[in-house]
Amino acid sequence: FAVVKSDGERFAMKLIDMKLSDTEEVEHERKILTMLGLHRHIVCLADAFDLPGGTTAFVMELAEGGEVFDKIGKDGPFSEANAADVVRQVALGLAFIHTAGVVHRDLKPENLLLTSKGIVKLADFGLAEWCGKGAKPITEIAGTAAYMAPEVVLADDGEGPPYTETADLFSLGCVLFSLLGACKSTAITLRADSQT
């Protein structure tokens, strides 16, 4: 993490080795995070800059409570009331990003972070895409297999019908299942350009 010297405020720091990353994908994520701005249920981007040696730094809001995934692993299944509270908070974050014309595409407990006060925040917009009016149709398979909506799989990297932000809602249902059943995902993250 990073600390502001003047006031001690702490931030998370995401360091991206640009020699190992696609420049367009990194810039795409930065643009999405910048456009989304501040929201109670999104891990917000405070700053982004380049470091010597070909590294890009994203200074992000710090969620000190860790991942929802880790909480499932440590504490086991959530009560229905606690699971409902997590889903409600995620739904508020999704409503905001969908209204802004963004689909997350990788919603899973590992990408849901908790603040020290228990507020749930959507994180990792690396697979996010523009959606809605004026956006190109989304036909790329992207996300984590265990949480991926059927329409994402059927899109078949351009061979099937396009999908919309509703794919995130299917993933949210899978998150709810994980919260109530304490299922640990060992699924791999899929990208159109990967061999996994």
Which two structure tokens, joined as six digits, stand for 124?
């990792």
Query: Do the Cβ atoms of 176 and 109 come closer than 8 Å?
Result: no
Residue with tokens 């020290």: 116
CB atoms within 10 A of CB 163: 24
**C-alpha to C-alpha distance for 114 and 89, rounded to whole angstroms:** 11
Which two structure tokens, joined as six digits, stand for 8?
């001690």
**C-alpha to C-alpha distance for 147 and 40, rounded to whole angstroms:** 24
Q: Which of 97, 105, 103 is nearest to 152 (CA)?
A: 105
Could you list the pLDDT tens digit for every one of the 196 residues in the chain?
788 888 888 999 999 999 999 999 999 999 999 999 999 999 999 999 999 999 999 999 999 999 999 989 888 999 999 999 999 999 999 999 999 999 999 999 999 999 999 999 999 999 999 998 899 999 999 999 999 999 999 998 778 899 999 999 999 999 999 999 864 443 434 444 444 4
Q: Which residues are catalytic?
A: 106
